[in-house]
Amino acid sequence: MKNFLSLVLVLALGGMIILSLQNNQYFTAYGEVDITKRVSESYIDRDVNGGTQAVEFGVANNLESGPANIVTAIVADYRSFDTLGEVTVLFVSSLGVALLLASGKQKRLDLHFHPNFMLRVGSRALFGIILMTGIFVIVHGHLTPGGGFPGGTMIASSILLLYLADDNFRTKVKSFKTLESIAGSLYVIIGLVGLFAFDYFLVNFLDNGILGELFSAGIVPIVYALIGLKVGSEISGIIDNFLTEEVA
């Protein structure tokens, strides 16, 4: 009975949403978007503050926002405040996981499994490759797809690999906490420097350089590196919390 009622409710809600989207003259259908009617156009043209310079790859110098990756320009520059909030969400949920699961002295969860020589060496080698990929993705976040969040997750996944390949392995959680705290604080402090020295919180106060070069986009690569470190250490902390148990 309850299942049937839920089914009716869900069908009604879904049908209502689809029908009202279909019959709405203001709702643009899939693929027929006109970007000029949205705020995004200015993120592409970089003319929020009235810039008139043509945005050309490898030529345009010191635009109002420097990343060649437009999504990065939005995430780490135009709407950087959202990203600070996002980092805080991840921070508070990793704290919550630690509060729930890591009370008292912890030991590794017994996986009933002993790694042989090949697995140990192979996982160590893979660890290095994954870590390097993660760092590459973070460093090139303003030029290519990726950035702090995917890169940080890659770093955490390399830690996860070590955890899964060896059931005696544990990282130093304490040092991860320190790293997380320093990276997060620096992010806020960069924002506060912007506020006190340049009037706006989280303003991009360094030179933006030439669009598309590795050393460009002002504070964006710095912020993304901090985010990458923070996300990596937070998710590694969560992994550690889930793969350990309290010493009885």
Partner 1 sequence: MSAVLLIAIPILAAFISIIVKKWSPYMLLFVSFGLVILLGYLPFEIITIGGFSAPYGISLVVDNYSYTALYVVNVLFFLVAIINVCNYKKLGTILLVSLAGLNGLMLTGDLFNLFVFLEISGISAYIITTTNKKPLATFNYLVAGTVGSILYLLGLIILYNMFGTLNMQDMAVRIAASGATDIEVALPFLLMFIGIGVEAKLLPFNSWVKGILGHSNKLTGPMIAGVYAAASLFVFGRLLTEVFVISDTFMLIISVILAFSILAGEAMAYSSTKVREILLFSSIAQAGIAVLIFVSGFTGYAVLFISLNGFSKVVLFLIINHATEVVGSDEVIDLKGLFVNNKLVGASFTATVLSLLGLPLFAGFFVKMGILSQLFSSGDYVFPAIILLSSVVEGVYFVKLLTKLWYKEDNLPQVKFELPLVYLVVVISLLLVVFGLYFEPLHEQALVLVNHVKGVIL
Partner 2 sequence: MLLYAAIILMMLGLYGILTQRNIIKIIISLNILEIGLNIFIISIGFVNGGVAPIFTGQNNLGSIGFVDPLPQALVLTAIVIGVGTTALGLALAKKIYAKYGTFEIDDMKGAE
**Interacting residue ranges for partner 2, rule: CB under 8 A:** 2-3, 6-7, 9-11, 13-14, 17-18, 21, 29-33, 35, 38-40, 43-46, 54-58, 68-71, 73-75, 79, 82-83, 85-86, 89-90, 92-94, 96-97, 100-101, 143-145, 149, 211-212, 231, 235, 238, 241-242
In whole angstroms, give the CA distance from residue 17 to residue 40.
25
Beta bridge partners of 245: 107
Helix (H, G, I), strand (E, B) or coil at 107: strand
Among 6, 61, 144, 178, binds partner 1 (CB under 8 A): 178
The option from partner 1, partner 2, none interacting with 190 (CB < 5 to 8 A, set by class) reads: none
Nearest to 222 by CA among 134, 148, 112: 148
Contact in structure between 220 and 69 (CB atoms under 8 Å): no
Q: How far is the CB of 53 from partner 1 (least distance, A)?
A: 16
The option from partner 1, partner 2, none interacting with 56 (CB < 5 to 8 A, set by class) reads: partner 2
In whole angstroms, give the CA distance from residue 151 to residue 144.
12
* 236 interacts with partner 1 by CB under 8 A: no
* 20 interacts with partner 1 by CB under 8 A: yes
The single residue listed with the structure tokens 């060896």 is 166
The option from partner 2, partner 1, none interacting with 10 (CB < 5 to 8 A, set by class) reads: partner 2
The option from partner 1, partner 2, none interacting with 69 (CB < 5 to 8 A, set by class) reads: partner 2
In whole angstroms, give the CA distance from residue 101 to residue 242.
7
Q: What are the backbone dihedrals phi and psi of residue 246, each rounded to the nearest 5 degrees, phi first?
A: -70, 140
Q: What are the backbone dihedrals phi and psi of residue 46, each rounded to the nearest 5 degrees, phi first?
A: 55, 45
| CA quadruple 7, 8, 9, 11: dihedral, nearest 10 | 80
Q: Kindly provide the residue ranges of all beta strands, DSSP E only, lying in 126-197, ordered along the sequence.
A: none
Q: How far is the CB of 112 from partner 1 (least distance, A)?
A: 27
Residues of the shown chain interacting with partner 1 in the complex, contacts defined by CB under 8 A: 16-17, 20-21, 24-28, 33, 37-40, 42-43, 48-49, 64, 77-82, 84-86, 88-89, 91-93, 95-96, 99-100, 177-178, 180-181, 184-185, 188-189, 191-192, 194-195, 198-204
